[in-house]
């Protein structure tokens, strides 16, 4: 007898899930819906000393972050290592790095939703939260880089008494529009997805205060057929809107660079180059966060080895696209015959004062993704975690040398200058991690970080599919 065709994705996931060696995934066990709901809601009712201690540390860190921002705002940008010509320096490096990290969250939740990749359902909430917090961190940098952040609202078109309007032919109002839209739409998408789970939290809340809090947040969700139908449609549409949006945000960020005249920046490859780098680093950050969480909360049967394997493959794919753009950039620098381009790429970057950062990036971004060809790396959490951290180190240095080298030595040797960051630069960057950790810990404690209704829906479909196949 011939095997039934493996065209159904659910069946395929069942076969695949069994083929990796870490026990039965929760979707294949007969754990009841009630049990699953209670289990996924458990972190909401119980903090634990480890969580409290981490929250205290990161909370103090978030205060430290605010202090560094206040110090910069009150003293001035002179506290940073920025100079002329290197005016963008650390702040814009951090901005590009953080906003890039956000991209994977939207990619996982929106693009994989449209492609019906059901494995996304265990990790999309977590990745979307990461997106939101990464955008918050990213948005701090252009704001504080203004020097007078209290005038930031000048970027938005409003009828001012000065009778002027923003210049929409420049990239900065585009940035303002792109980032504020990205944050808002990501938040809406996240919230719409959360509504059914907030209702579950409401119905399981142990105290009246919590019941009221989640009740208000759930907006009175009762899971009626009508509301599910509209919910599914709205969720799909938001996914469809977020898909081009996520591709546009880093494209717009890359235009900040590409529409200038500087060698190394003035290039049409920038939008795809930035987007692929963003998704690549974002996947790595999802792994960096997900791997410890999975062990700490004991959810290895929900975020399975199969998820790690798929994420690692995506790192390989996006990493290869990034590397392809490196090669194209270097080739064009030589092939164009432009002396400024070739001076920058072939001399300054490969052998100048920042050559160590350039080579670090080139080596790490080649070696680490290519290790993902091997199952031994894809399916071992510890190795994968180290790889994910190295990817983000490499991606930070990529943005660093990209921004510093082009500015420090451009057309006129008389205006060349070196760049050194100060301790304030470092402190602000450290602060963003602490703020990120603080927000992420709050998220883990107060919101269900694995989607409950989507997990149950997936389990229902899978169990049904299995029983149908058994009946054949």
Partner 1 sequence: MRSGLLAEYEDPEILVRAIRALRREGIVAMDAHMPYPVREVLEALELPPSRVPIYCFLGGLAGASYAYLLQWWTNGFDYALNVGGRPLGAAPAFIPPTFEGTVLLAAFGALLSFLGFSRLPRLWAPVDEVPQFSRVTSDRFFLAVDATDPRFDRIEAENILLASGALSVSAFGLLPRKEAER
Rule CB under 8 A: which residues touch partner 1? 32-34, 37-38, 157, 163-170, 173-174, 177-178, 181, 184-185, 188-189, 192, 196, 199-200, 202-204, 215-216, 219-234, 237-238, 241, 244-245, 248, 252, 255, 453-454, 456-457, 460
Smallest gap from Cβ 172 to partner 1, in A, equals: 11
C-alpha span between 198 and 46 (Å, rounded): 16
Query: For residue 404, what are the contacts with CB-CB under 8 A and spacing of at least 6?
Result: 86, 89, 93, 354, 419
The smaller minimum CB distance to partner 1, of residues 204 and 349, is found at 204
The position carrying tokens 């200058």 is: 417
Per-residue CA distances from 168 to 156, 172, 185, 236, 319 (Å): 10, 8, 22, 31, 33
Question: Which residue, 7 or 222, is less far from partner 1 as judged by CB?
Answer: 222
User: CB 168: neighbour CB atoms within 10 A?
Assistant: 11
For the bound state, the minimum distance from the C-beta of residue 261 to partner 1, rounded and expressed in Å, comes to: 11
Taken in order 77, 102, 132, 62, the sign of the CA dihedral is negative
CB 113 to partner 1: min, Å: 14
Smallest gap from residue 178 Cβ to partner 1 (A)? 5
Cβ atoms 330, 52 nearer than 8 A: no
Q: Which two tokens stand for residue 367?
A: 């070696």
Judged by beta carbon, residue 178 or residue 333, the one nearer partner 1 is: 178
Whose Cβ is closer to partner 1: residue 249's or residue 384's?
A: 249
CA distance 338 to 359: 23
The nearer residue to partner 1, 161 or 167, going by C-beta atoms, is 167
Q: Give the CB-side neighbour count of residue 80, counting CA atoms within 13 A.
A: 26
Tell me how far, at minimum, the Cβ of 118 lies from partner 1, in Å.
Answer: 13
- Best CA proximity match to 279, nearest among 101, 151, 82: 101
Which residue, 128 or 454, is less far from partner 1 as judged by CB? 454
Min. distance of Cβ 54 from partner 1 in angstroms?
Answer: 29
Residue 325 CB contacts under 8 Å (≥ 6 apart), including other chains: 269, 272, 273, 276, 277
Residue 37 CB, shortest distance to partner 1, in Å, is 5
- Please give the structure tokens belonging to residue 390: 């190295």
Please state the closest distance from residue 179 (CB atom) to partner 1, in A: 9
Angle at 68 between CA 67 and CA 74, to 5 degrees: 85
């Amino acid at each position: 007898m011939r095997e039934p065709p493996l065209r159904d994705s659910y069946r395929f996931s069942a076969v695949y899930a069994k083929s990796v060696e870490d026990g039965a995934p929760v979707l294949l066990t007969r754990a009841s819906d009630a049990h699953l709901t209670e289990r996924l809601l458990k972190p909401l009712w119980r903090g634990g000393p480890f969580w409290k201690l981490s929250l205290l540390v990161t909370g103090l860190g978030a205060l430290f972050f605010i202090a560094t921002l206040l110090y910069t705002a009150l003293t001035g940008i002179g506290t940073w290592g920025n100079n002329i010509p290197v005016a963008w320096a650390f702040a814009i490096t951090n901005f590009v790095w953080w906003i890039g990290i956000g991209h994977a969250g939207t990619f996982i939740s929106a693009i994989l939703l449209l492609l019906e990749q059901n494995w996304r359902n265990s990790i999309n909430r977590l990745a979307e939260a990461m997106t939101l917090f990464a955008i918050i961190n990213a948005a701090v940098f252009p704001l504080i880089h203004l020097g007078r952040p209290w005038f930031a609202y000048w970027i938005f078109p409003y009828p001012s008494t000065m009778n002027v309007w923003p210049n929409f032919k420049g990239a900065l109002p585009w940035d303002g529009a792109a980032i504020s839209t990205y944050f808002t739409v990501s938040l809406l998408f996240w919230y719409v997805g959360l509504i059914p789970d907030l209702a579950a939290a409401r119905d399981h809340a142990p105290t009246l205060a919590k019941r009221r809090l989640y009740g208000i947040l759930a907006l009175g969700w009762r899971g009626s057929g009508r509301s599910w139908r509209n919910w599914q449609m709205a969720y799909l549409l938001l996914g469809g809107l977020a898909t081009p949006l996520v591709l546009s945000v880093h494209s717009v960020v890359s235009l900040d660079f590409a529409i200038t005249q500087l060698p190394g920046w003035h290039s049409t490859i920038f939008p795809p180059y930035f987007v692929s780098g963003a998704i690549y680093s974002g996947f790595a950050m999802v792994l960096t966060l997900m791997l410890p969480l999975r062990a700490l909360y004991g959810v290895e049967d929900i975020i399975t080895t199969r998820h790690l394997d798929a994420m690692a493959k995506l790192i390989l794919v996006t990493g290869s696209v990034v590397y392809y753009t490196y090669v194209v950039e270097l080739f064009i620098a030589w092939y164009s015959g432009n002396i400024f381009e070739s001076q920058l790429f072939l001399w300054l970057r490969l052998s100048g004062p920042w050559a160590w950062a350039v080579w670090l990036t080139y080596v790490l971004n080649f070696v680490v993704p290519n290790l993902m060809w091997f199952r031994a790396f894809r399916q071992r959490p510890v190795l994968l975690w180290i790889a994910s951290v190295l990817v983000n180190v490499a991606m930070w240095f990529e943005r660093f040398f990209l921004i510093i080298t082009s500015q420090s030595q451009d057309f006129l040797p008389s205006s060349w200058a070196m760049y050194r960051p100060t301790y304030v630069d470092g402190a602000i960057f450290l602060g963003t991690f602490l703020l990120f950790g603080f927000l992420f810990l709050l998220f883990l404690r107060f919101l269900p970080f694995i989607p409950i209704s989507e997990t149950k829906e997936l389990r229902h479909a899978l169990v049904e599919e299995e029983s149908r196949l058994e009946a054949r």
